[in-house]
Amino acid sequence: MDALADKKALNWSELGFQYHKTDYRFSAVYENGAWGAGELVSSDLISVHEGAPSLHYAQQCFEGMKAQTTADGRVLLFRPDLNSERMNLAAVRTLMPEVPQAMFIDAVEQVVRANYAWIPPYGSGASLYIRPMLIGVGENLGLRPAKKFEFRVFASPVGPYFKGSGLSVISLAVSALDRAAPSGTGSFKVGANYAGGLLATRLAQQLGANEALYLDAREHRYIDEAGSANIIIAMKDGSLVTPRSNAILPSITRRSLMVLAKDQLKMPTAERPIDLRAEFDQFDEAAACGTAAVLSFVGKIWFDDAWHVIYKDGQSSGPVMQQLYDLLTGIQVGRLPDPYGWTHAVKI
Ligand SMILES: Cc1ncc(COP(=O)(O)O)c(C=O)c1O
């Protein structure tokens, strides 16, 4: 079943992070207080009422996860239970119905199986990106929650999020715009957070950076996160730190990396406020992490009208991030043992 002949004729190793229409997606509707069974559908279009609250008031949330092919042809998801948990936290925060975990994982598995031909082969550096989403549909002009919802899961083969393969070096520019307020929706994966970030990303890119870096909205002092990834920093004292903030997305990748650093690299780890200006000189290595970004070195950061360089003298990697990258991706593609039970094989 794993022969390349069963696969689409894509140039897998050249893929960027772009949408490719695959054959099937899953769709289920919630109405009158209950979820329908849902089914695989082939159309990539959703027909919603023009008064749908997802369109006007951003009553929606989504997830991002990946399926990867192992050397022996198995297909692995990475910690899908945490994607389900996080989607349900967002659902509760935005007054939408939770999607039962069994239904969520079954839908993801159905989509992966039905699009088997689109799952990039082992060693290509590409993966099948899976996008579960929950949206308020149906007419609702007033500012009220929807009465009807759609849970949809689609997938697309993707390459690296940031250009360059494997562990790429990126730069970040501190944004003058805020992403999320301290008690707002920053810790939930809701579209509203991202609409506000589009301009921040554009401005960062105009400075030559890959992505915006947000500081805390109250003092503009402590690191929050990047536009599409959390931040981890290897300090000169040998510890690995990551920001503590209730305005950032609780990244599944970051949670996994912190465990790997502590258990496998025996590093002291801490989730704590990180004062960018006061602590920058103590940064040894920094990286942005996420499902899409995987682990991308942060080579320099723009703040206070200047570039501040972390990786000097043409260095393109640091030993801590390189080891973390190898450990994480090794587990994700089944190259290394998975003592934590993080991977979830999809029956093909
Ligand atoms: C704003 C933001 N932060 C962090 C992450 C990383 O989260 P995860 O590791 O769960 O993909 C993402 C998504 O990839 C994101 O959109």
Q: What is the pLDDT of residues 211-268, one digit of tens each?
A: 999 999 999 999 999 999 999 999 999 999 999 999 999 999 999 999 999 999 999 9
Q: Residue 160's pLDDT is what?
A: 85
Tell me, in angstroms, the distance from the centre of ligand 1 to residue 243's CA: 14
3-state secondary structure of 34: strand
Bridge partners for 269 per DSSP: 240
Residues enclosing ligand 1, CB less than 6 A? 64, 225, 228-230, 249, 251-254, 290-292
Tell me, in angstroms, the distance from the centre of ligand 1 to residue 230's CA: 6
Tell me, in angstroms, the distance from the centre of ligand 1 to residue 253's CA: 8
Q: How far apart are CA 215 and CA 13, in angstroms?
A: 35
Decide if pLDDT at 38 tops 70.
yes
CATH code, domain carrying 136? 3.30.470.10
Residues 59 and 152 in one domain: yes
Tally of helices (H runs) and strands (E runs) in the chain: 8, 18
Tell me which residue has its CA closest to atom 1 in ligand 1. Answer: 228
In a domain, 300, yes or no: yes
DSSP 312-333: -TT----HHHHHHHHHHHHHHT
Report the nearest atom of ligand 1 relative to the CA of 197.
Answer: 1
Name the amino acid, one letter, at 63: E
Which of the listed residues 77, 194, 230 should we mutate to test ligand 1's pocket, taking the one with most ligand atoms within 8 A of CB?
230
Residues 45 and 8 in one domain: yes
Decide if pLDDT at 1 tops 60.
no
In a domain, 337, yes or no: no
- Domain residue limits at 112: 4-158
| CA-based nearest residue to 78, from 289, 346, 295 | 346
Residues 175 and 320 in one domain: yes
In a domain, 51, yes or no: yes
Predicted confidence (pLDDT) per residue in 117-145, tens digit: 999 999 999 999 999 999 999 988 899 99
Tell me which residue has its CA closest to atom 6 in ligand 1. Answer: 290
Tell me, in angstroms, the distance from the centre of ligand 1 to residue 191's CA: 12
Which of the listed residues 251, 296, 328 should we mutate to test ligand 1's pocket, taking the one with most ligand atoms within 8 A of CB?
251
Residues 188 and 297 in one domain: yes
In the numeric block, which tokens belong to residue 48?
């919603």
Q: Residue 169's pLDDT is what?
A: 86
Distances (CA, A) of 59 to 85, 86, 142, 191, 340: 18, 16, 13, 8, 35
Tell me, in angstroms, the distance from the centre of ligand 1 to residue 263's CA: 23
The rounded percent of the chain whose pLDDT value lies above 90 is 92
Decide if pLDDT at 3 tops 60.
no
Residues 134 and 174 in one domain: no
Q: Where are the beta strands (DSSP E) in the chain?
A: 25-31, 34-35, 39-41, 60-62, 65-69, 75-78, 127-137, 148-158, 169-174, 211-215, 223-226, 230-235, 240-243, 269-272, 283-290, 294-303, 306-309, 343-346
Residues 152 and 177 in one domain: no
In the numeric block, which tokens belong to residue 106?
């079954």
Residues 105 and 174 in one domain: no
| CA-based nearest residue to 298, from 320, 275, 278 | 320
Residues 124 and 88 in one domain: yes
Confidence of residue 2 (pLDDT cuts 50, 70, 90): very low
Residues 222 and 255 in one domain: yes
Q: How many other C-beta atoms can be found within 10 angstroms of the C-beta atom of residue 163?
A: 11
Q: Residue 141's pLDDT is what?
A: 87
Tell me, in angstroms, the distance from the centre of ligand 1 to residue 189's CA: 8
Tell me, in angstroms, the distance from the centre of ligand 1 to residue 288's CA: 10
In a domain, 344, yes or no: no
H helix runs in 252-318, sequence order: 252-263, 276-279
Identify the domain boundary among 103, 126, 158: 158
Predicted confidence (pLDDT) per residue in 187-213, tens digit: 999 999 999 999 999 999 999 999 999
In a domain, 96, yes or no: yes
In a domain, 341, yes or no: no
In a domain, 163, yes or no: no
Q: What's the number of domains the chain is made of?
A: 2
Q: How far apart are CA 141 and CA 137, in angstroms?
A: 11
Confidence of residue 161 (pLDDT cuts 50, 70, 90): confident
Tell me which residue has its CA closest to atom 4 in ligand 1. Answer: 229
In a domain, 345, yes or no: no
Residues 199 and 178 in one domain: yes
CATH code, domain carrying 198? 3.20.10.10
Q: Residue 164's pLDDT is what?
A: 57
Residues 102 and 215 in one domain: no
Residues 135 and 194 in one domain: no
Q: Residue 311's pLDDT is what?
A: 80
Identify the domain boundary among 113, 131, 158: 158
Bridge partners for 215 per DSSP: 223
Tell me, in angstroms, the distance from the centre of ligand 1 to residue 85's CA: 14
Which of the listed residues 65, 175, 228, 342 should we mutate to test ligand 1's pocket, taking the one with most ligand atoms within 8 A of CB?
228
Q: Residue 313's pLDDT is what?
A: 65
Average pLDDT, the chain: 95
Identify the domain boundary among 105, 137, 158: 158
